[in-house]
Amino acid sequence: MAYVNTKEMLIKAREQKYVVGGFNIVNHTSLVAVFEAAKENRSPVIVQTSQKTVLELGYKVLPAIIKELADESDVPVAMILDHGTNTEIIKNCILSGWSSVMIDGSSYPYEENIKITKKIVELAHSKNVSVEGELGHIGGKEEHISVDSSEVLLTDPEKAVEFQKKTGIDSLAVAIGTKHGFYDSKYELDFNRLGKIMDLTDFPIVIHGCSGLAEKDLKRLISFGVSKMNISTEIKHIYIDSCRQYIEDHPDEYEPVKKISFVQQQVKDLVKKYMDIFGSTNKA
């Protein structure tokens, strides 16, 4: 199928009440695992790259590999820069072939967030690149993002509408009580707030921090009509844990490809599980 931006993909998901997963990759092994999962489940997919991953693997390598894999697949594939806070990195991704970017201005005052986000939207849209913004401040820790519980700011539903109109973003990440990283045994999601956001908006809404949420909560979030949900922490954990498992089970094995294949399978199985929960299986 095609290498696409996220705009039409997420609009369709909202209309049909399923979710497209945004899955963070760290290298070629995890990237192929996400692609294979999408092909086997016939699911649209969004490959996410953190700023750290971009700097580690390079601006030219990532889009070249993803475009090649997309050409060989029969499912719609998008690539997005996740939590872009460095405007130079965001601009380089736009100009280097990312189909989508996220500008995270949530740490700035509201008006400054609008100003920064709008500038990125203007450049991105001129290159047919879609943009995800963020309003509110999602808690937890992931990559270079660290937000203490005292700094969490839930999204104002009324401002979500205004923010989209003033910036021109294609999708919006909202804060409703989810957080980056794994959860403690108790957590509280503000479903009433999400309901108000969905009632007032007509554009794709994104939920970050979905690793480790109970399946019943994931399905309840999906029922509201959100378009995209992010899985990052859980992929990292299964990647590292399966590396350790393989080495422990095969202490005398020195063929790296065998370990890579094992790790790739574990990541693929996890991604396929989420595609089934999200309802995106067979939606390609």
pTM of the model: 0.93
* Contact status, residue 282 vs residue 274, Cβ threshold 8 Å: no
Residue 138 binned pLDDT confidence (cut-offs 50, 70, 90): confident
Label residue 196 exposed, middle or buried (CB < 10 Å: 0-12, 13-18, 19+): middle
Residue 152 binned pLDDT confidence (cut-offs 50, 70, 90): low
* Contact status, residue 58 vs residue 36, Cβ threshold 8 Å: no
Give pLDDT, residue 186: 72
β partners of residue 140: 147, 180
Q: Please state the domain extents for the chain.
A: 7-278
- The rounded mean pLDDT for the chain is 93
How far is 233 from 8, CA to CA, in rounded Å? 27
CATH code of 7-278, in short, is: 3.20.20.70
Tell me the three-class secondary structure of 90-117, residue by residue: HHHHHHHCCCEEEECCCCCCHHHHHHHH
Instruction: Please provide the DSSP assignment of 33-58 as one string.
Output: HHHHHHHHHT--EEEEE-HHHHHHH-
Give per-residue pLDDT as tens, 31-48.
Answer: 999 999 999 999 999 999
* Residue 146 pLDDT greater than 60, yes or no: no
Which residue among 71, 82, 104, 184 is the active-site one?
A: 82
Residue 122, token pair as written in the block: 């203007």
Kindly report which listed range (19-23, 175-179, 232-236, 247-251) carries the lowest average pLDDT score.
Answer: 175-179
82 catalytic? Reply is yes
Give the rounded percent of residues in the chain with a pLDDT score beyond 90.
Answer: 87
Give pLDDT, residue 188: 87
Q: Which helix (H) or strand (E) holds 23?
A: strand 20-24
